[in-house]
């Protein structure tokens, strides 16, 4: 596997379910990101991790819970979601913005298309 991978690619869940999204990066990067992409909206940054430490949480509801056990893996745990949470969830990784500064380039995974019924 190369680059950034995400599983599952598609997920349908009810509002009472609990599920998790997984992201893995094979680029040797130290930072990982979760984004939400809804139709006709810009990419919304949700969480940022640098060296497994959460460095940003953009006012995301607590029904989304991230986990970063090491610099190669990132999870997004989902519970009691709402239909408006249906979207494409993208994971990205980068060298580390605190080190690379404005040249830090993010590389994206293919995303998980989430539908909440």
Partner 1 sequence: QQPVQSPQAVILREGEDAVINCSSSKALYSVHWYRQKHGEAPVFLMILLKGGEQKGHEKISASFNEKKQQSSLYLTASQLSYSGTYFCGTVTFQGAQKLVFGQGTRLTINP
Residues in contact with partner 1 by the rule CB under 8 A: 4, 41-43, 45, 56, 90, 97-98, 101-111
Count of Cβ atoms closer than 10 Å to residue 19 Cβ:
17
Can you spell out the DSSP letters for 38-70? -TTS--EEEEEEETTEEEEE-S--TTEEEEEEE
Cα separations (Å) of 88 from 50, 62, 74? 23, 18, 16
- Which CB, 58 or 82, lies closer to partner 1? 58
Shortest reach from residue 23's CB to partner 1, in Å = 11
Q: How far is the CB of 13 from partner 1 (least distance, A)?
A: 20
**Minimum CB separation from partner 1 for residue 60, in Å?**
15
Q: Kindly tell me which of 55 and 117 has the beta carbon lying closer to partner 1.
A: 55
Tell me which DSSP letter residue 94 carries. E
Nearer to partner 1, 78 or 91 (CB): 91
């Amino acid at each position: 596997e190369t680059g950034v991978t995400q599983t599952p690619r598609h997920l349908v869940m009810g509002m009472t379910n609990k599920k998790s999204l997984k992201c893995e990066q094979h680029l040797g990067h130290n930072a990982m990101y979760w984004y939400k992409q809804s139709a006709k909206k810009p990419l919304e940054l949700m969480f940022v991790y640098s060296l497994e430490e959460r460095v940003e949480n953009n006012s995301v509801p607590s029904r989304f819970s991230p986990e970063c056990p090491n610099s190669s893996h990132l999870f997004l745990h989902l519970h009691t979601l709402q239909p408006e949470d249906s979207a494409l969830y993208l994971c990205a990784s980068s060298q580390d913005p605190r080190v690379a500064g404005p040249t830090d380039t993010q590389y994206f995974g293919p995303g998980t298309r989430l539908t909440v019924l």
